[in-house]
Structure 1
Amino acid sequence: MKVLMGTESLRPPLTGIGNYTLNLLREFQAISDVEAVDCFDGNRFFPVGDVLAGVDRHMVPSSYHRAGGQWREQLRKTVRAMPLAYSLKSAFSNVRFKQGSPGRKDFVYHEPNFILKSHDGPSVTTVHDLSFVRHPEFHPAERVAWLSRQLPRTLDRANFVITDSEVVRTELIEQFGVARDRVKAIYLGADARFLPRSVESTQAVLAKYGLVHGSYLTFVGTIEPRKGISVLLDAWQRLTPAIRRSWPLVIAGAPGWRNAELMSRIEALRAKGEVKYLQFVSYQDLPFIYAGAATFVYPSVYEGFGLPVLEAMASGVPVICGAGTSMAEFAEGACKLFEVGDADALALAILELVEDARQRIRIAHSGIVQARRFSWARCAQETLKVYINAVGRN
């Protein structure tokens, strides 16, 4: 089996799709049936060995690394919001892909970031979520318009479609008419770095951030409206001042889209000493931030999978997430649930956990057991089976 993988998602900061892409590439290296993997970064083709050899401390291949501060991120967001930005970028990338793909007709092309490019061989796409359909208000209008045009074409072109959960698989079948036998849900994995850690083992890292093991609640994710952070802050402010001082809320994540109001609220609570904002936490430190938390809260409105929930479960931390979501699907009762968007219900769930150590221990143990069912090795093996099916359908 020869694989051609789209790797544009490996550009910093590395978020969910980037982690998915990187872990598949790593696992394929250990599978004997995968004889070759080439990568396309939107401009050039690279052997997978070059990509993986260049991974730096931020989990980003150095060939793609773009040094710079917040102004670069702001520039990228501004450009993305411009009319035709997605279309122009896609057109350029398609030309570059077409120039290099003729010699790779015998490769299975997997696009882990939704939209396929034209490929003469078998093609597989991963559609992580349909948030641009379900919640277009959480995306730039240009992105919504572009995905609305391109996704139906990709679904027609793909020999096989992968989703991260049955929730999204069902949405694709019902909303886009994808044949049931042409789309498969494959759960993501928890990296081996995420595991329960003792007070002593977390102390050095937590001290850098002014944190104490077992004495804070945390959220990890992109700072943007879809993640439900406004509901989290509403719930947080419903708790008593004593609770908020005793169990400060730690928020970690790269800035996302339309987050000015969120950042203003976070800053106001930070000034009171009730919230700590860590921004984007490094690859090395993140497992310790998870493992040191008393509770992990993930109030996201909508997710295709919700990888931070699985990582927190694997870290031995009790998790609160939304009922009826993809997170509740894979957790199978190992998380404390609340009604999505209900700040009162979330406040109650937080209060119950911080006041009940036995409940925290019980949920944390259930989470560890459940998280062991998911691994990137399993994800890669199931993905390889999809490639085989795609070849048969080409």
Structure 2
Amino acid sequence: MERSIVHIDMNTFFVSCERLTNSALNGIPLIIGGGERGVVASCSYEARRFGVRSAMPIHMAMKLCPQAKIMKGDMELYSKLSHDITEIIQEKAPVVEKASIDEFYLDITGMDKFHGSYKWTNELAQTVTKETGLPLTFALSINKTVSKIGTGEGKQKQNLEIPEHLVQSFLNPLSIQKIPMVGEKTFQLLSRIGIRKIETLSKMPCEVLQQMIGKNGSELWKKANGIDNNPVEPYTERKSISTEHTFSQDTIDMDRLKRVILGMVEKLAFQLRSEEWLTSTVTIKIRYANFDTETKQCRVQYTSADHILTKTVTDLFEKLYQRRMRLRLIGVRFSGLVRGTYQIDLFEDTQEMLALYQAMDRMKNRYGFDAVMRCAGASFKPNNKNEILKRKSE
């Protein structure tokens, strides 16, 4: 049976959320992002006409479009509206994967027996827009790759349906940059040997691609040929991530305690970014030598950045640890999680900070977490099986 996979993308989601609460923002160039040294988190189509793009430095965006209005952004509002959209889709679709805060995959295979699949999807899209006031684009095809590419094209040509017999003719004239896994580095590498269109890439021997770009070569060749067997993964909301450290001997050494805290925060923050989560609630837990246990928590603006979370956890620890008795355990927990494609807080951090985090995360992913660490937290190591199991199972 031919699969029916839908990709839904909320159009300029952050911008649309802001306009929903303030109609005066309609029709004007709008940029959501940080301060003068920050980067663009999202921008309106009016700003895009001047060349403004996501992740562009704010100062560069303002040179391209000096009349644009800049807003800091409200992740709490975006998260709430994303949750509302998710509930509407999950109520109607049989299998839903929430790929990020503003995009979804749906597997509606077999539904064409009872409704036309495109008609059903169109009615769902109209329901989402009617109930939330937010615009969206969707594409329906045989797998996740083609439907996602279709959504990108649909923003210019409206919603698309791409049946199996039209997949290759749809893909062929497009730039290889339209394939989700093709970044700037891969594009430049392939461009140098004249491969710029998907049609050219699809006809290239798979073995040659593997020699050029490694193990991803085979996957890239499949996507260029419209092949993607990855399933739509049912969405479940993760509640929190946490870790605890039990000392082999009870301690009151403040320097050691803070080093352990920094190490735990760094590991958890890296996990947030790796799994594309943002946290809004931070909790610190301590257990004294007499087994008395105390906790303290606070809310933060949605983030996954070490420097923000480290300061928050350290401040909480200093407020909580007042009895000056020896401690046997420290725990850190991040909760109130939301999905997001942004690996750090684009509303607060500078372009330099963004580049630093991305470089560190690449090294950690390639060589292991311990490949690059802050000196202050480098002494933290899981010291018992219970801690390791806890972190794996949450």
TM score, norm. by length of structure 1:
0.29
Name the structure with the higher helix share.
Answer: 1
Of the two, which has the highest radius of gyration?
Answer: 2
TM-score by length of 2: 0.29
Which is strand-richer, 1 or 2? Answer: 2
